[in-house]
Amino acid sequence: MYVGRVMHTELVTVSPDTSLMKARDILEERKIAHLLVVNARGELVGIVSDRDLRQNWASPAVALSKHELNYLLAKVTVEHIMVKKILTVSPLTTIERAALIMQEHRISALPVLDEGRLAGIITSRDVMQVLLEAIGIDEDSRRLTVICEDRIGFLADMSRLLRDEGINIRSLFAWPDKKFPGYYHLVMRVRAADGDKALTVLEQNGYKVLTAYAKDLAPFLASH
């Protein structure tokens, strides 16, 4: 999956001279968490989050009255608080790469530039939605986790076994176990009605299957 398939293209933008009060009103009215700041030429020059606004809203509040605070915030513009060193991605960036960038830099949104022009924005919420869809989680599915060694043919052997029993794998993903190098958690979802059958077939053929949390994984490491 690529950013271009997920990004929001109906963008809400403001100019650098937009007041903080106006920016706050826009965020609340549009029910969004980020504002893209563009100059008169339509170029991206900054980004402001609802968190940035809250932090700058509170900073002068102690010493000022409500009337004085509102007057000040009506004069202060987003240019004074916006993030100017902006991390961006292109529509060709993969979702997982975008997720890694957001995690490494502790940010919750990435503007998308297409050949230098602002084309969209992707947020951490969008990434989470893609993950949930990829996992295939729904009420009509059963989750099974096979602890497997990193060897060629493991997945082919297991999927062939389920295929021969008429069991369809709806989704599949894997991640390495940091505590036990060389082992992976292979998480699959099958139709709920096929769950018990899939579990029986796998276990009868020597696969170590987790159906719930196990504090000690050692008994599951001697995989097929």
16-25 pLDDT, tens per residue? 999 988 999 9
**Assigned fold of 138-220:** Alpha-Beta Plaits (3.30.70)
The amino acid at 50: D
Q: Which two tokens stand for residue 112?
A: 């998308």
Q: What is the mean pLDDT of residues 46-66?
A: 73
Nearest to 27 by CA among 6, 51, 1: 51
Q: Which two tokens stand for residue 54?
A: 């809250």
Is the pLDDT assigned to residue 57 strictly greater than 90?
no
Distance CA 114, CA 120 (A): 9
Residue 59 pLDDT = 56
Q: Are the C-beta atoms of residues 77 and 19 closer than 8 Å to each other?
A: yes
Give the confidence band of 69 by pLDDT, cuts at 50, 70, 90: low
Give the confidence band of 64 by pLDDT, cuts at 50, 70, 90: low
Digit-coded pLDDT (tens) for 120-170? 999 999 998 888 877 777 668 899 999 888 888 888 999 999 999 999 998
Fold agreement between 3-131 and 138-220: no
Is the pLDDT assigned to residue 67 strictly greater than 90?
no
Distance CA 137, CA 141 (A): 7
**Assigned fold of 3-131:** CBS-domain (3.10.580)
Residue ranges per structural domain of the chain: 3-131, 138-220
Let me know the angle formed at the C-alpha of 145 by 186 and 212, rounded to the nearest 5 degrees.
150
Give the confidence band of 79 by pLDDT, cuts at 50, 70, 90: very high
3-class state of residue 12 by DSSP: coil
Question: Looking at the whole model, is its pTM more than 0.85?
Answer: no
Is the pLDDT assigned to residue 2 strictly greater than 60?
yes
From 70-74, 91-95, 171-175, 200-204, the region with the lowest mean pLDDT: 70-74
Average pLDDT over the chain reads: 87
Residue 223 pLDDT = 47
